Amino acid sequence: MKIECVIDGKMLSLNLNSNKPLSLVLQEDLDNSTVNAHCRGRLCGLCAVLMDNEAVLSCMVPAFELNEKEIRTFETFQKERSMRDIERAYDEVGVKPCETCYQSRSIIIESLSNKLLERPNTPSEQIISELSVIDCSCMDTEDMLKIVKRVTDLKRRRNVRRS
């Protein structure tokens, strides 16, 4: 199956098995080493990427869903302004994810902060539910919630200054 998409800023035309998971496309076909996919579909949460600015678990996204999508991995996301906001929030709250889940948590925090900018009244329970997709106990739920809210505040302030 021919798939056309943008991955990490590059327009690609790929011939893939339509059911091949995005995690394997990234690792095997594009030599991306920043995507963890140790669980091979058992939902550990460590393979999160941004697909059209929303966090998805790349092990659960079949290739046929990639057509016409924009995918950003941590490799390019870590260079963006949003990642500096996330780092600042980690420092201000006083906690940081462990090395194992750092990349995926940061991607998910980015996605959630964007959702909160669009829908400020999103219930905390929904945010916590999305944050808990990562199977790692290195961070407290309340701290993660504070980080998401802090990142959202930083983005909101920056957007107001631009207006």
The pLDDT tens digits of the residues spanning 66-115 come to 999 999 999 999 999 999 999 999 999 999 999 999 999 999 999 999 99
Residues 8-29, mean pLDDT to the nearest whole number:
92
Burial class from Cβ neighbours inside 10 Å (0-12, 13-18, 19+) for residue 46 reads buried
Greater model confidence, 90 or 122:
90
Structure tokens at 102: 């750092």
Query: If you search the block for the tokens 């961070």, which residue do you land on?
Result: 139
Give me the residue spans of the domains in the chain: 2-73, 81-162
Q: In the predicted model, is pLDDT for residue 42 greater than 90?
A: no
Pick one of 3.10.20.30, 3.30.565.10, 3.40.50.620, 3.10.450.230 as the CATH number of 2-73: 3.10.20.30
Residues 144-159, mean pLDDT to the nearest whole number:
93
Q: In the predicted model, is pLDDT for residue 36 greater than 90?
A: no
Q: In the predicted model, is pLDDT for residue 17 greater than 80?
A: yes
Q: In the predicted model, is pLDDT for residue 41 greater than 80?
A: no
Q: In the predicted model, is pLDDT for residue 11 greater than 70?
A: yes
